[in-house]
């Protein structure tokens, strides 16, 4: 058990006091001008005690990137003060502050933000009722989107964050470029599997180049990905192995896999009984640390996750329910699964979670 509470050093030298992260979680609670609200500040501060690092909610890199109601923004310098407050609320408790940078692409909802241009790799609608057919980005506009992620990174550095996590998971724009479902392009960004790698890899290269230009040697650059898609065609584990092999050869500080359960097997090929993490660990081959997430809720889960080969773990729902989860794990106590006012959640997050059927199945209660 103690292994998880030991200090860890990221490849470029940044030290973290233990190997537990807060998973990135959208709060739907920014002020109406998309700056950090007081409730969010209180929530982040409460989750930063004892934990190693806090990965923030998906933060929109541009006007067209906004995918959720009241989603915090880092689209330009007007948001710098808001971002400084976010970084400070985390860092003053001794945790590392990692900003998740995000673009929703074709997952953006048409009625959420007026005059939003809903764009993607290609004009293919997602298989979700609330989505619309997006407009395919022109080649020059794809480079503009990469610039937006770089601007967000520059602002994150100015705001005092210890790193950024590229949101390449959960069906959003970065993943849309890698997916055979959403990317039918014929330019350098699409078509074959190799060309579908272009956007994520160029994005990483540009962010790493910026870090170098600014001489930010220890600044963490992480990448979150979803290993499979349910759609046909969709991302398969074979595709992902290729992406991860490429990413692991780059100068990034970590990879972060988004799963509903840290030890799950393939959802596309149910005959394949090898845990996804085992495949990932083989291809990464110790080149970069791997963060695991998905139903990690107890010391037993943490131990098993480490023995499967994850280097760090990220806590989601259990950290929403119990703000003192890390302290409890340290004391070998069982964290609470009761979501209440004492959980110090911003009201919009609390109300949403309360209405989710799925939480009961996982043993959570909300009152
Ligand atoms: C309320 C909520 C918001 C989420 N928002 C994000 C997000 O902004 N970015 C992201 O990559 N994942 C997001 N996720 C997924 C979590 O990071 C995590 O992968 C998932 O909850 C599984 O972990 P868990 O079983 O410990 O909750 C969110 C999950 C929840 C419950």
Closest CA to 137 of 169, 174, 168, 164: 174
User: What tokens were used for 133?
Assistant: 């057919």
- In this predicted structure, the answer to whether residue 1 has a pLDDT above a threshold of 70 is no
| Residue 163 reports pLDDT greater than 80 | yes
**pLDDT value at 308 more than 80:** yes
Pocket perturbation via mutation, ligand 1, pick of 25, 325, 335 by most ligand atoms within 8 A of CB: 25
Number of H helices, E strands in the chain: 13, 15
The percentage of residues in the chain with a pLDDT greater than 70, rounded to a whole number, is 100
Atom of ligand 1 nearest to the CA of 352: 1
The atom number, within ligand 1, closest to the CA of 167 reads 11
Minimal-distance CA residue to ligand 1 atom 28 = 25
Cβ-contact 111, 132 below 8 angstroms = no
State the pLDDT at residue 342: 87
The stretch 316-322 carries a mean pLDDT of 98
- Going by CA atoms, what residue is nearest to atom 4 of ligand 1? 25
Q: How far is the CA of 298 from the centre of ligand 1 (A)?
A: 17
- Does residue 272 register a pLDDT over 70? yes
Tell me: the pLDDT tens digits for 214-237? 999 999 999 999 999 999 999 999
- Please state the pTM of the whole predicted model: 0.99
Q: Pick 341 or 123 by higher pLDDT.
A: 123
State which of 24, 66, 103 you would mutate to test the pocket of ligand 1, scoring each by most atoms of that ligand within 8 A of its C-beta.
24
Task: Please give the structure tokens belonging to residue 135.
Answer: 């407009």
What's the rounded Cα separation, in Å, for the pair 316 and 256?
A: 13
3-class DSSP state of 166: strand
- Give the pLDDT mean for 134-149: 98
**Closest residue (by CA) to atom 13 of ligand 1?**
25
Residue 6 has pLDDT above 80, yes or no: yes
CB-based contact 294:262 (threshold 8 Å)? yes
How does residue 367 score in pLDDT terms, banded at 50, 70 and 90?
confident
Count CB atoms within 10 A of the CB of residue 329. 25
Average pLDDT estimate for 96-115: 97
Q: Which domains does the chain have, with CATH numbers?
A: 2-366 (3.20.20.70)
pLDDT digits (tens, 9 = 90+) for 33-89: 999 999 999 999 999 999 999 999 999 999 999 999 999 999 999 999 999 999 999
Q: How far is the CA of 51 from the centre of ligand 1 (A)?
A: 17
pLDDT surpassing 80 at residue 16:
yes
Model confidence at 341, in pLDDT bands (50, 70, 90)?
confident
Q: In the prediction, which pLDDT does 285 show?
A: 98
Q: 138, exposed or middle or buried, with CB in 10 Å at 0-12, 13-18, 19+?
A: exposed
Q: Which one, of 249, 144, 245, lies nearest residue 203 by Cα?
A: 144
- Confirm if 115 and 40 have CB atoms less than 8 A apart: no
Lowest-confidence region among 155-159, 271-275, 338-342: 338-342
**Nearest protein CA to atom 15 of ligand 1, as residue:** 25
Mean pLDDT within 253-278: 98
Mean pLDDT in residue range 153-176: 98
**Secondary structure letter of residue 63 according to DSSP:** G
> To test the ligand 1 pocket, which listed residue (20, 21, 23) has its Cβ within 8 A of the most ligand atoms?
23
């Amino acid at each position: 058990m103690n292994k998880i509470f030991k200090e860890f050093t990221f490849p470029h030298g940044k030290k973290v006091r233990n190997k537990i992260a807060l998973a990135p979680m959208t709060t739907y609670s920014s002020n109406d001008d998309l700056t950090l609200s007081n409730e969010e500040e209180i929530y982040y501060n409460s989750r930063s005690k004892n934990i190693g690092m806090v990965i923030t909610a998906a933060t929109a890199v541009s006007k067209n990137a906004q995918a959720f109601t009241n989603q915090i923004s880092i689209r330009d310098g007007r948001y710098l003060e808001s971002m400084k407050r976010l970084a400070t609320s985390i860092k003053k408790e001794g945790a590392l502050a990692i900003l998740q940078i995000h673009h929703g692409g074709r997952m953006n909802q048409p009625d959420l933000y007026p005059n939003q241009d809903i764009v993607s790799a290609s004009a293919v609608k997602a298989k979700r009722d609330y989505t619309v057919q997006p407009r395919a980005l022109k080649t020059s506009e794809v480079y503009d989107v990469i610039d937006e992620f770089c601007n967000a990174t520059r602002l994150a550095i100015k705001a005092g964050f210890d790193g950024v996590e590229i949101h390449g998971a959960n069906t959003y724009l970065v993943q849309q470029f890698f997916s055979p479902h959403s990317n039918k392009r014929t330019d350098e960004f699409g078509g074959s599997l190799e060309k579908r790698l272009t956007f994520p890899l160029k994005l990483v290269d540009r962010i790493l180049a910026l870090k170098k230009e600014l001489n930010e040697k220890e600044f963490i650059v992480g990448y979150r990905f979803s290993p499979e898609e349910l759609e046909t065609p969709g991302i398969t584990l074979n595709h992902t192995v290729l992406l991860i092999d490429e990413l692991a050869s780059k100068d990034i500080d970590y990879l972060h896999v988004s799963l509903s359960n840290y030890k799950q097997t393939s959802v596309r090929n149910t005959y394949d009984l090898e845990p996804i993490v085992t495949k990932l660990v083989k291809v990464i081959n110790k080149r970069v640390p791997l963060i695991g997430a998905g139903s990690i809720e107890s010391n037993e889960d943490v131990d098993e996750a480490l023995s499967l080969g994850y280097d760090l773990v990220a806590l989601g729902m259990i950290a929403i329910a119990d703000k003192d989860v890390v302290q409890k794990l340290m004391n070998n106590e069982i964290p609470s699964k009761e979501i209440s006012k004492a959980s110090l959640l911003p009201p919009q997050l609390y109300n949403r979670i309360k209405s989710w059927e799925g939480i009961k199945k996982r043993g959570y209660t909300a009152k």
